[in-house]
């Protein structure tokens, strides 16, 4: 990242006379995309921004920078608490958003025990995301599923069939999902990575939902199953809603905010799907490490055995 180029881009977007970039640094987190924090002095006034750009390689489900920016604009317009999307540079490519207050570190988030007030805020934010339905101007790049759960099973089976090594635990999970996958036509915008570690919070106050690179049309139960999946509780396994609250606290708050009745059995099915999907992402991240040496990618790959164990437990 060249500070002079960023300054020139912001100057062109804002019409400012002077722009100075200070403290440009890569932020921790983000195994797929890269984020850089910086301060921009625009005509003498300081602003804290984050620049998001693509890594050298990516997983198949990840959206382009321009598509992520479009998704964030739709979410911001719907009142979802997110970092305000400001400017898209299609040539670089990258986009710039306002920097949020708080922390997103999952292990730190669950360390202090239950946070029901935060879980309720998150449920309300998810209801706002799910208020976005197709067709939607600006989101024409998103494919419309016929039956979201069954389409997901077919997608992950295709991924698994292309893997050079066998993974019988994941095959068993997909077989169970074949039997359980609901036929649903309640299609909404799903975040598809709505979990502890992907939102910013200042104490018990939600400041913003992060990381929109997987979002797409789907079944609202998918996001709830992902949020409740054991793999995203960061060791606080007794608090089934993201390691921060009881499952029913989160679901009741979501139902009240969305006006939608949630089928608990479908949530359990999507939890199994979550572990299969995360296992497939771990396989893809391991493959990325061959082209992009990274300790973080290697550690994600080592998550695979515990994910396969959870698949076997849930597939029963």
Cis peptide before 63, with omega less than 30 degrees from 0?
A: no
- The pLDDT value recorded for residue 286 is 73
How remote is the C-alpha of 278 from its chain's centroid?
12
Which residues lie below 8 Å from residue 122, measured CB to CB, with a gap of 6+? 194, 199, 206, 227, 242, 250
Instruction: Residue 84: name the closest of 53, 47, 117 by CA.
Output: 47
For residue 48, the cross-strand partners are 39
Helices 220-228 & 247-258, crossing angle to 10 degrees? 160
- Within 10 A of 35 (CB to CB), how many other CB atoms are there? 19
Structural domains of the chain, ranges and CATH numbers in brackets: 3-98 (3.30.200.20), 106-315 (3.90.1200.10)
- The pLDDT value recorded for residue 94 is 97
For residue 172, count CB atoms less than 10 angstroms from its CB and return exposed for 0-12, middle for 13-18, buried for 19 or more: middle
Which stretches of the chain drop beneath a pLDDT of 70? 29-32, 56-58, 287-299, 301
CA–CA separation, 305 vs 303, rounded Å?
6
- The pLDDT value recorded for residue 58 is 66
- Within 10 A of 84 (CB to CB), how many other CB atoms are there? 14
Give one DSSP letter per residue of the chain, joined into a string: --HHHHHHHHHHHH--S-EEEEEEEEPS--SSEEEEEEEEEETTEEEEEEEEEE-SS--TTPPPHHHHHHHHHHHHHTT---PPEEEEETTTTEEEEEPPSSB--HHHHHHT---HHHHHHHHHHHHHHTT--SS-TT-TTSPPPSSHHHHHHHHHHHHHHT-SS--HHHHHHHHHHHHH-------EEE-S--STTSEEEETTEEEEE---TT-EEE-HHHHHHHHH-GGGSTT-TTSTBTTTB-HHHHHHHHHHHH-----HHHHHHHHHHHHHHHHHHHHHHHHHHHHS--HHHHHHHTTHHHHHHHHHHHH-
CA–CA separation, 272 vs 256, rounded Å?
25
Cis peptide before 313, with omega less than 30 degrees from 0?
A: no
Give one DSSP letter per residue of 189-203, joined into a string: EE-S--STTSEEEET
- The pLDDT value recorded for residue 57 is 58
- Regarding beta strands 33-42 and 45-54, do their DSSP bridges make them parallel or antiparallel, or are they unpaired? antiparallel
């Amino acid at each position: 990242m060249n500070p002079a180029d960023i300054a020139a881009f912001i100057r062109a977007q804002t019409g400012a006379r002077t722009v100075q970039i200070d403290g440009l640094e890569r932020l921790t987190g983000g195994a797929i995309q890269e984020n850089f924090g910086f301060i921009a002095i625009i005509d003498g006034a300081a602003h804290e921004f984050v620049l998001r750009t693509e890594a050298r390689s990516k997983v198949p489900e990840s959206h382009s920078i321009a598509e992520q920016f479009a998704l964030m604009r739709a979410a911001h317009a719907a009142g979802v608490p997110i970092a305000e999307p400001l400017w898209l540079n299609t040539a670089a490519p990258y986009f710039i958003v306002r920097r949020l207050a708080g922390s997103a570190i999952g292990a730190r988030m669950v360390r202090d025990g239950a946070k029901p007030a935060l879980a309720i805020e998150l449920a309300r934010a998810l209801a706002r995301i799910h208020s976005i339905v197709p067709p939607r101007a600006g989101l024409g790049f998103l494919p419309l599923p016929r039956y979201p759960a069954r389409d997901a099973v077919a997608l992950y089976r295709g991924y698994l069939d292309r893997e050079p090594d066998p993974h019988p635990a994941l095959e068993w999970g997909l077989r169970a999902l074949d039997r359980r996958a609901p036929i649903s036509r309640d299609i909404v915008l799903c975040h598809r990575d709505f979990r502890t570690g992907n939102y910013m919070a200042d104490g018990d106050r939600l400041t913003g939902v992060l990381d929109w690179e997987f979002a797409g049309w789907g079944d609202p139960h998918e996001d709830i199953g992902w949020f409740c999946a054991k793999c995203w509780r960061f060791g606080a396994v007794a608090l089934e809603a993201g390691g921060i609250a009881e499952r029913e606290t989160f679901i009741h708050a979501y139902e009240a905010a969305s006006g939608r009745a949630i089928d608990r059995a479908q949530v359990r099915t999507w939890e199994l799907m979550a572990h299969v999907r995360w296992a497939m992402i771990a396989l893809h991240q391991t493959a990325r490490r061959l082209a992009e040496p990274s300790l973080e990618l290697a550690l994600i790959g080592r998550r695979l055995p515990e994910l396969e164990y959870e698949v076997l437990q849930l597939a029963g």
